[in-house]
Amino acid sequence: MTDSNDFGHAITDSGQPVVISGWGRSPYSSSTRIDFGDTPGRYRPETLARYISALPPSNRIIARGLGRSYGDASLCAGGRFVSPDDLSQTFDFDPATLRLRVSAGVSLDEIMRRLIPSGYFVPVTPGTRYVTIGGAIAADIHGKNHHKDGSFAQHVTRMQLVTASGSEELTPADELFWATAGGLGMTGIITEATIQMRRIPTSYMKVTTERTPDLEETIVRMSSKDEQFQYSVAWIDCLATGSSLGRSVITWADHAEVADLGRKQMRDPFGYSPRTRLTAPDMAPSWLLNRASIKIFNEAWYRKAPVHAETTETIPGYFHPLDGVADWNRLYGKPGFLQYQFQIPFGAESVLRHIIERLSGARASSFLAVLKRFGPGSPGPLSFPAPGWTLALDIPINDPRIASLLDGLDYLVAGAGGRVYLAKDSRVAKDLIPVMYPGLTEWAEIAQRADPEYRFISDLGRRLELRKLPEPKASLLGTLATRNRRGPN
C-alpha cells in the first residue's frame, strides 16, 4: 500500500499487517507498521505530522513502544502503528543541567547503559528497563520511589507531540502535556522528550530486607519505615492463607555511597553490566505454571528471605530481577496471562485485606504480588498513581472463572475510591472507568481538541470507550445496577 504525500516522496507501509499483543499475549490484533523508508527528513516531527494528515481520518494510528504494557494499550486493530525504531535519533545529555533530550523510542535500558557508567540515573524506573520514553510518559509510569519522587512525567520538562494538525512543543504548564502523560498514546505521538536525570553516588543499591508474617505487619512496617528510604516495595505471597495471609518480603533501598561498597565493588563504583541469563522457550506448555508449581516457588522464596538483613545489590538485581529471563511472558503458554494492578486510598486497608483474601481463596494462581505505597499523584487526569496502596499480580488465563473473580474485585476497588492501572488492563468493564477516573471526561475533551478526527485510538481506548464524550446520563449508579444483574459477588 502506498500513500503519497505532498513533498513528493512515497511512504510505504511495510506491506502486510502483523499480529501484535501486549506483554500478556492476550488480546491480540493485527495492524500495519508505518514504514518511513528512506524519506528524507523522515525523523522530523513535521514529516510525521504531514504523513498522518495525508491519511484518511478513518485510519486509526497508535504509537507503540516495546509492548511492555500488558493488555491492548499499544494495539490498533486494522490500523497503523508507529514503531519505536523510527523514533530513536536523538540522545543529547547535558551534565550541567542533568537534562536528557531523547527520542521517544529510546528505551530506559539504553539510557541506563549509556549514563549509569558516568554516574547518572533515570528519575523513575519500572520493574523492567525494557520500556521506551514514549511508553513511560504515555503510561505515566511509577517506580519504587513513587512515595518520594512521584511518577515519570513529573520529571519531564518538555515534550514534542505530533498530531494530524502538526507538531507541538509541550511543557508542564500545558493541559495537553498532562493529558498526554497517562493518556496512553491517544492524544498523539510523542516524538521526543526532555528528562530530568539525577546523579547517583555509585551504581549499587543499599538494600534493607525484612520478612513479615502477615499483611497487618506488612502494612505497619511500610507505613512507618517508607519515609526513611528512597525506594520501597513488598513482595506478597498471594497464595498464603489464614494466619499467613499477606506475608511478605519488604525491601527498602537507597543508592549506595562509595563507603557502603565492598572492596571489589569499590574498584569500579559505576560498574554496570546487566545480563540476560536465560531465554524462555517459545512453546512452553500452559500447565507449566500451575497452582502447585507456583505455590512451591512462593514458599521457597519466602523461606529463603531473611527476617532482617542489609545487603548491597546491583541496579538490575534490585530494580529489574525479571529482566534476567528474556521473554519470560512465554512461560504462561499460548492462552497468555494478565496482570491485575489496582490502587486504593489510604484508610481502605480493610478492602486491601479483603481483596487479598479473595485472591488467595480463589484458584487464581499467581507468583508473588507486588505491594507498594504511592505518594501524591500527578496532574494527569488518566495518570494511575494516587495516594494509597497499589497491588499488582500476574494471573494466568487458564480458567474462565477469573473473569467474575476480577469483576468482583473491581467493584471493591471502585467502591473504595480506587482504580485499576490502564497500562496493565485487558479486561475491566468500561462502566467503571468514569468512577475510577473522575477526570475521564476532562481528559476526553482535551484529547478531542488535540485530535478532533479521532485518529489516535488504541484497542484499549475502543474497548473502554475512553475517547467517547459522555452524553448527559440520568444516573450512573442506575446503569451499573442494570448491567451487572448478578451484581458484585
Partner 1 sequence: MIDALGQPQCVLVIGGGSDIAAAAVDRWVDLRTDTVILAGRNFKEMETVQSKLQAHSSVKVEIAYLDLTDHSSIEPFVDDAFDRFPDIDLVLLAAGQLGDQAEDEISPSRVEAMFDTNATGTAITLTAVANRLRRLGSGAIVVLSSVAGERVRRSNYVYGSTKAALDGFSLGLADSLSGSGVRLVLIRPGFVKTKMTTHLANAPLATTPDRVADDIVAALAKNRLLTWSPGAMRWVMLVYKHLPRSIARKLPF
Strand partners, 337: 396
Closer Cβ to partner 1, 272 or 411, answer by number: 411
Element (H, E) at 373: strand 369-374
Question: b/e map of 103-129 (b: 16 or more CB within 10 Å)?
Answer: bbbbbbbbbbebbbeeebbbbbbbbbb
Of 55, 236, 398, 419, which lies in the binding site for partner 1, with binding defined by CB under 8 A? 398
Distance CA(87)–CA(65), nearest Å, equals 10
Give first-to-last CA distance, the chain, whole Å. Answer: 50
Strand partners, 253: 207, 231
Q: Is the peptide bond before 27 cis (omega within 30 degrees of 0)?
A: yes
Of 263, 264, 308, 486, which lies in the binding site for partner 1, with binding defined by CB under 8 A? 486
Nearest approach in angstroms of CB 338 to partner 1 is 5
Nearest approach in angstroms of CB 479 to partner 1 is 7
Closer Cβ to ligand FAD, 34 or 184, answer by number: 184
Closer Cβ to partner 1, 275 or 486, answer by number: 486
Element (H, E) at 311: strand 308-314
Name the site residues for ligand FAD (rule: CB under 6 A). 23, 62-69, 73-74, 87, 104, 126-128, 131-132, 134-135, 138-139, 141-143, 184-185, 189-190, 322, 423, 458
User: Under rule CB under 8 A, which residues in 410-429 are in contact with partner 1?
Assistant: 426-427, 429
- Grid cell in block for residue 456: 489516535
Of 12, 14, 29, 89, which lies in the binding site for partner 1, with binding defined by CB under 8 A? 29
DSSP state of 190: E
- Grid cell in block for residue 406: 476480577
Size of the site for partner 1 (CB under 8 A): 42
Angle between helices 349-361 and 402-415 (to 10 degrees): 170
363 lies in the site for partner 1, by CB under 8 A: no
Task: For residue 289, count CB atoms less than 10 angstroms from its CB and return exposed for 0-12, middle for 13-18, buried for 19 or more.
Answer: buried
Contacted by 250, from ligand FAD, partner 1, none: CB < 5 to 8 Å by type = none
Distance CA(143)–CA(76), nearest Å, equals 27
Which one-letter amino acid corresponds to residue 465? Answer: E
56 lies in the site for partner 1, by CB under 8 A: no
Which stretch in 48-56, 155-163, 243-251, 398-406 sits in contact with partner 1 by CB under 8 A?
Answer: 398-406
- Grid cell in block for residue 60: 486509526
Closer Cβ to ligand FAD, 139 or 240, answer by number: 139
Helix (H, G, I), strand (E, B) or coil at 56: coil
Distance CA(452)–CA(439), nearest Å, equals 19
Query: In Å, how far are 124, 146, 268, 281 from 257, measured between CA atoms?
Result: 19, 21, 13, 39
483 lies in the site for partner 1, by CB under 8 A: yes
Which stretch in 23-31, 151-159, 261-269, 291-299 sits in contact with partner 1 by CB under 8 A?
Answer: 23-31
Contacted by 80, from ligand FAD, partner 1, none: CB < 5 to 8 Å by type = none
Closer Cβ to ligand FAD, 206 or 372, answer by number: 372
383 lies in the site for partner 1, by CB under 8 A: no
Distance CA(457)–CA(81), nearest Å, equals 11
479 lies in the site for partner 1, by CB under 8 A: yes
Residues that bind partner 1 (CB under 8 A): 16-19, 24, 26-31, 71-72, 75, 77-79, 334-336, 338, 397-400, 402-403, 407, 426-427, 429-430, 459-460, 462-463, 479, 482-486
